Amino acid sequence: MDLSSSSCASLSKTYHHHPFSLSLLHPNSLQLLRSHHLPHRRTLFLRNSPPPLLFSRQNNLPLTPVRVSNQSQNDSFVLEDVPHLTNFLPDLPSYPNPLQERQAYSIVKNTFVSPEDVVAQTIVIQKDSPRGIHFRRAGPREKVYFKPEEVRACIVTCGGLCPGINTVIREIVCGLKNMYGVEDILGIEEGYKGFYSKNTKRLTTKVVNDIHKLGGTFLRTSRGGHDTQKIVDNIEDRGINQVYIIGGDGTQKGAALIYEEVEKRRLQVAVAGIPKTIDNDIAVIDKSFGFDTAVEEAQRAINAAHVEVNSVENGIGIVKLMGRYSGFIAMYATLASRDVDCCLIPESPFYLEGRGGLFEFIEQSLKENGHLVIVVAEGAGQEYIASEVHAVNEKDASGNKLLLDVGPWLSHKIKDHFTKFSKMAVNMKYIDPTYMIRAIPSNASDNIYCTLLAHSAVHGAMAGYSGFTVGPVNSRHAYLPIARVTERPNTVKLTDRMWARLLESTNQPSFVASDQQRVDKE
Ligand SMILES: Nc1ncnc2c1ncn2[C@@H]1O[C@H](COP(=O)(O)OP(=O)(O)OP(=O)(O)O)[C@@H](O)[C@H]1O
Ligand SMILES: O=P(O)(O)OC[C@H]1O[C@](O)(CO)[C@@H](O)[C@@H]1O
Ligand SMILES: [Mg+2]
């Protein structure tokens, strides 16, 4: 452990400007520890006030909680914080938040979120477990670091579509205007490349008034075209000082690069990410907006498949749903429907032939029930298909691998098997509602969720945070370090109870040998 008092002094100075840090970090109580394992990372360890506090924070680099061995387990508390403009602009003035003047908020008991409010990542704990990782609670702060009349905000949407994007756009515009009196808001068209290749669109509350009733994105979108230098040049040239970036994992990685460049150039620009993905593959947050809407829409396809196969002899319905690397849509649509007999997802490799294979299960189900419905996520069985067909490794403009089409492949394999090796004539009904589940407007609960996301982003940007993303963690909205949501995707855990619930409801094979199950569990 390397203890350095000069680093201590400079750190306490840096943190002095930070509202949250002020209340927690007293110079006398600081000890700077350098982890042997993470020499580039700084850990602040407070001793003076009970309970002792472990405060983990660093700029730009992915934050990994650092545990201190001489700390008793149940006292440790880790805050994974987000950057603030005063980290690199220490003299930035602050102003009273105009929200307190708003009539709508005048009766709110606590108009402002306390700077000490944090959201716990893990809420199910045991008496002696460590206090664990926490995130800064989202919401309006007493002080803002922008004068509303000096704000020039912009909004951009990138990546694939998702129900609710328009609601988020609408609520950023309305939130900025109605809560803070900000009027200068620009729409960047067609994703990241729109920063440097398109004119902007003026966004007013009137322009966005009805867009939440429409699917898609009012600002259009694109893949590829992220050029950090050109984007930040453009932000500077246009005098933009708040950037709202709506998009998935790729987009959020791009947002982190934009923030890094903003910090390097010492610009007073708040960069706020709003995570979007139909696949629900973003880590840490409870779920992504539009996911519920997509699952609901998928019910229509599953229901159609069920009606079809129920009306014929030996009917097999196959419904292909989105989900590149994460099978959440397929899993939740299956669990919600109860008409599905088998759900295939990317996380659970399956096999067709032999004991415990899919063919055996289909034959058994047909004999017992006369029909069955299979839901397959688009990313399922990719290695299996690749081993059988000559596949070219293609990527989209953002560098995402283009998937082999599992739906037609599976339909063909099943038909072929039953024609050649079984006396059963099967009646195949294949339904591919892929884009239909994401090209629709968001449902009521997603609309409300989108509103909270948008408002959290607006409050965070006005409060001077930059290089952060927003999202609910255990139902409470929080400000999250971008690296935390992009470092690894959220996937279905086969060892969680939810997958067991699914297996129980479909009665499908687990496709995992029992000794393998035991090893995974261990
Ligand atoms: N590692 C990265 N660094 C910088 N920019 C990136 C990175 N990955 C992707 N981007 C940019 O982010 C934008 C969107 O990325 P992508 O097409 O992968 O969609 P996404 O945001 O992941 O959303 P989804 O996968 O849900 O459709 C693109 O403009 C792409 O150039
Ligand atoms: O065809 P597009 O628009 O590139 O998008 C398809 C991909 O986007 C996603 O919906 C993720 O946004 C994936 O599920 C899907 O593979
Ligand atoms: Mg993505």
**Residue 248 in contact with ligand 2 by CB distance below 6 A:** yes
pLDDT value, residue 521:
55
Are 100 and 462 in contact by the 8 Å Cβ rule? The answer is: no
Strands 315-321 and 371-377: parallel
Q: How confident is the model at residue 517 (pLDDT cuts 50, 70, 90)?
A: low
Q: Which of 124-133, 233-242, 453-462 has the lowest mean pLDDT?
A: 124-133
Residues 390-434 have pLDDT tens digits of: 778 899 999 999 999 999 999 999 999 999 888 789 999 999 999
Q: Which residue owns the Cα nearest ligand 2 atom 12? A: 160
- Closest residue by Cα to atom 3, ligand 2, is 160
Judge if the beta carbon of residue 223 lies within 6 A of ligand 1.
yes
pLDDT at residue 406, as a whole number: 98
Residue 216 CB–ligand 1 contact under 6 Å: no
Is the minimum distance from the CB of 257 to ligand 1 under 6 angstroms?
yes
**pLDDT classification of 60: cutoffs 50, 70, 90:** very low
Distance 438 CA to ligand 3 centre (A): 14
Nearest alpha carbon, ligand 2 atom 11: 160
What is the whole-number distance in angstroms between the Cα of residue 448 and the centre of ligand 3? 24
| Angle, helix 291-310 to helix 444-462, in steps of 10 degrees | 160
Which numbered ligand comes closest to the C-alpha of 489?
3
Pairing of strands 270-275, 468-473: parallel
Q: Catalytic: which of 249, 279, 292, 446?
A: 279
pLDDT greater than 90 at residue 285? yes
What are 7-17's pLDDT values in tens digits? 333 332 223 33
The position carrying tokens 């060892």 is: 495
Looking at the CA of 279, which ligand is closest?
2
**pLDDT reading at 30 higher than 80:** no
Known catalytic residue at 432: no
Residue-wise over 55-73: b if at least 16 C-beta within 10 A, else e?
bbbbbbeebbbbebeebee
273 pLDDT more than 50: yes
Q: What gap in Å lies between CA 487 and CA 398, rounded to an integer?
A: 17
Please tell me the distance between residue 250's alpha carbon and the centre of ligand 3 in angstroms. 5
> Which ligand is in closest contact with the Cα of 250?
1
> Which of the 8 DSSP states describes residue 321?
E
ipTM higher than threshold 0.90? yes
Distance in Å, CA 226 to ligand 1 centroid: 8
316 by DSSP, 3-state: which? strand
Ligand 1: which atom is nearest the Cα of residue 247?
Answer: 21
Share of the chain above pLDDT 90, in %: 77
Is the Cα dihedral 117, 122, 127, 131 positive or negative?
Answer: negative
Q: Is the CB of 296 under 6 A from ligand 2?
A: no
pLDDT band at 259 (very low <50, low <70, confident <90, very high): very high
In the reported structure, the alpha carbon of residue 383 is separated from the centroid of ligand 2 by a whole-number distance in angstroms of: 19
Q: Exposed, middle or buried: residue 434 (CB in 10 Å: 0-12, 13-18, 19+)?
A: middle
Residue 32 pLDDT: 28
- The CB density around residue 359, as the number of other CB atoms within 10 Å, is 17
Query: Does 160 sit in the ligand 2 pocket, CB within 6 Å?
Result: yes
Do the beta carbons of residue 511 and residue 360 sit within 8 Å?
no
Residue 279 CA: nearest ligand 1 atom is: 26
* Peptide bond just before 51 cis, omega within 30 deg: yes
Ligand 3 centroid to residue 249 C-alpha, Å: 5
Give the CA distances from residue 41 to residues 20, 58, 64, 437, in Å, rounded to whole numbers and listed in that order: 20, 7, 9, 43
Q: Which residues have a Cβ under 8 Å from the Cβ of 240 and sit 6 or more positions away?
A: 152, 153, 154, 186, 269
Please tell me the residue having the least CA distance from ligand 2 atom 4: 160
Number of alpha carbons in the 13 Å side-chain half-sphere of residue 254:
31
Q: Which residues contact 70 (CB under 8 A, 6 or more apart)?
A: none
Q: Which atom of ligand 1 is nearest to the CA of 228?
A: 4
Mean pLDDT for 148-173 is 98
For residue 438, which atom of ligand 2 is closest to its CA? 10
Q: Is the CB of 394 under 6 A from ligand 2?
A: no
Average pLDDT of every residue of the chain: 86
| Distance from the alpha carbon of residue 282 to the mean position of ligand 3, in angstroms | 9
pLDDT digits (tens, 9 = 90+) for 364-386: 999 999 999 999 999 999 999 99
The one-character DSSP state at 347 is T
What is the predicted pLDDT for the residue at 11?
Answer: 30
Pocket mutation for ligand 2, best pick of 158, 161, 165, 324 (most atoms within 8 Å of C-beta)? 324
**Torsion angles phi and psi, residue 332, rounded to 5:** -70, -35
Q: Output the six-digit token pair for 138.
A: 């989202």
Cα–Cα distance for residue pair 455/470, rounded to 1 Å:
10
User: How far from chain centre, in Å, is Cα 62?
Assistant: 16
pLDDT > 60? residue 34: no
Answer yes or no: are the C-beta atoms of 66 and 58 closer than 8 Å. Answer: no
Distances (CA, A) of 173 to 182, 194, 441: 8, 19, 18
pLDDT digits (tens, 9 = 90+) for 203-224: 999 999 999 999 999 999 999 9
> Which DSSP letter does residue 98 get?
G
Q: How large is the average pLDDT for residues 480-494?
A: 96
Q: Tell me which ligand sits closest to the C-alpha of residue 288.
A: 1
**Is residue 292's pLDDT more than 90?**
yes
76 lines ligand 1 (CB under 6 A): no
Which residue lies with its CA nearest to atom 20 of ligand 1? Answer: 248
Distance 160 CA to ligand 2 centre (A): 5
**Which is it for strands 315-321 and 427-431: parallel, antiparallel or unpaired?**
parallel
Digit-coded pLDDT (tens) for 319-351: 999 999 999 999 999 999 999 999 999 999 999
DSSP 269-315: -EEEEEEB-TT---SSSS--BTHHHHHHHHHHHHHHHHHHHHTSTTE
